[in-house]
């Protein structure tokens, strides 16, 4: 038999105020609000600078960078055993002057790799991954990025190749400020091998990492692998 008397008792007031005095004692993602707002203002300014630097490279500079990146990524994927049939690799469809790796998507697909593209299904959600095939018609997701539509099956990537506007030598990445990749990597278990793709110009001394920032396993620039945190 159950009745009101079986329910656990409630306190008339919280047992102590420690949660308000030291929020991070209870919430591992909690940060000092002043520091959070300073970091986010600093990151906004860096994004502007880095987008300008990427534009300043010019189409030919960006094309040369993309060619070098594709060479390094091809070698890396082969070494990681992910360059052929049986693996699922997430790449990206370029926006905002990101290195255009579309020839690599096509090459890998020819080798039998299953290619995924990240999709924003709705603002604030982790990204989902849908299968891409050469010739697949894409349509803009809510962020305006060309993406497979809802007909394309979901897949779970073994490796995620992630564009980074900025990066530091601890593997932290600066994106466009949505936090979508951090949310996604926090939610994925097991986590895929994560490779950040960046320009040398994107290197920052530090990103002032915050508790929500997920460090990537590797960072690759046109000069080669800049860091590899795999064990
Ligand atoms: N190529 C590519 N695809 C990707 C990402 C990415 O970074 N690059 N994403 C990585 O998460 C997701 C898309 N998220 C995005 C978030 C913000 C903006 C962006 O350009 N924001 C503008 C404001 C645009 C607007 O008017 O709404 C800005 O920040 O100024 C683009 C993509 C999934 N697909
Ligand atoms: N795991 C998470 N849970 C909840 N919010 C998160 C999480 N990760 C990031 N965020 C939120 O996203 C916001 C933007 O994060 P950040 O500045 O790291 O974005 P970014 O890495 O540049 O963007 P993106 O990953 O979209 O390219 C943060 O202020 C944070 O509040």
Section 61-81 average pLDDT: 98
179: Cβ below 6 Å to ligand 2?
yes
* 9 domain residue, yes or no: no
What percentage of residues in the chain have a pLDDT greater than 70? 88
Question: CA of 141: how far to CAs of 122, 123, 180, in Å?
Answer: 8, 10, 13
pLDDT(31) > 90 = no
Residue 56: domain span:
30-228
* 42 domain residue, yes or no: yes
Ligand 1 centroid, distance to 3 Cα (angstroms): 52
**ipTM exceeding 0.85?**
yes
- pLDDT of 10 reads 60
Ligand 2 centroid, distance to 179 Cα (angstroms): 2
Ligand 1 centroid, distance to 63 Cα (angstroms): 21
| Number of domains forming the structure of the chain | 1
* 50 domain residue, yes or no: yes
The Cα 69–Cα 220 span in angstroms is 7
What would the pLDDT profile of 83-131 be if each residue is shown by its tens digit? 999 999 999 999 999 999 999 999 999 999 999 999 999 999 999 999 9
pLDDT(2) > 60 = no
* 181 domain residue, yes or no: yes
The Cα 113–Cα 82 span in angstroms is 8
The Cα 66–Cα 2 span in angstroms is 66
Instruction: Report the nearest atom of ligand 2 relative to the CA of 181.
Output: 25
Confidence bin at 21 (pLDDT 50/70/90): low
Return the number of other C-beta atoms located less than 10 Å from residue 220's C-beta.
25
* 2 domain residue, yes or no: no
Ligand 2 centroid, distance to 98 Cα (angstroms): 19
Tell me the whole-structure pTM to 2 decimals: 0.89
176: Cβ below 6 Å to ligand 1?
yes
Section 189-193 average pLDDT: 97
Confidence bin at 20 (pLDDT 50/70/90): low
Residue ranges of E strands in 23-133: 88-90, 114-119, 128-132
pLDDT greater at residue 107 or residue 15: 107
Section 146-153 average pLDDT: 97
Section 163-175 average pLDDT: 98
Question: CA of 75: how far to CAs of 9, 23, 225, in Å?
Answer: 61, 45, 11
- pLDDT of 25 reads 64
108-137: buried (b, 16+ CB within 10 Å) or exposed (e) per residue?
Answer: bbeeebbbbbbbbeeeeebbbbbbbeeebe
Ligand nearest to the CA of 216: 2
Q: What CATH code is carried by the domain that includes residue 174?
A: 3.40.50.10420
* 25 domain residue, yes or no: no
- pLDDT of 74 reads 98
- pLDDT of 30 reads 73
* 211 domain residue, yes or no: yes
Mutate to test the pocket of ligand 1, among 121, 145, 161, 177 (most ligand atoms within 8 A of CB): 145
Mean pLDDT score of the chain? 92
* 3 domain residue, yes or no: no
């Amino acid at each position: 038999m159950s009745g009101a008397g079986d329910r656990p008792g409630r306190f008339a007031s919280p047992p102590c105020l420690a949660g308000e005095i030291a929020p991070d004692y209870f919430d591992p993602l909690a940060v000092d609000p002043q520091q959070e707002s300073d970091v986010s203002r600093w990151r906004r300014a860096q994004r502007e600078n880095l987008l300008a630097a990427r534009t300043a490279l010019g189409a030919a500079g960006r094309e040369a960078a993309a060619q070098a990146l594709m060479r390094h990524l091809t070698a890396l994927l082969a070494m990681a055993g992910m360059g052929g049939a049986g693996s699922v690799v997430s790449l990206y469809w370029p926006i905002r002057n990101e290195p255009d790796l579309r020839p690599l998507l096509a090459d890998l697909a020819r080798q039998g790799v299953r290619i995924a593209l990240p999709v924003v299904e709705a603002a604030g959600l982790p990204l989902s991954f849908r299968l891409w095939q050469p010739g697949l018609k894409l349509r803009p997701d809510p962020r305006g990025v060309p993406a497979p539509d809802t007909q394309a099956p979901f897949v779970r990537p073994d490796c995620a190749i992630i564009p980074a506007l900025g990066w530091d030598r601890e593997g932290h990445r600066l994106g466009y400020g949505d936090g979508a990749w951090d949310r996604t990597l926090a939610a994925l278990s097991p986590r895929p091998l994560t490779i950040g793709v960046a320009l040398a110009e994107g290197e920052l001394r530090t990103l002032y990492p915050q508790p929500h920032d997920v460090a990537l396993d590797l960072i690759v620039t046109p000069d080669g692998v800049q860091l590899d945190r795999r064990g």
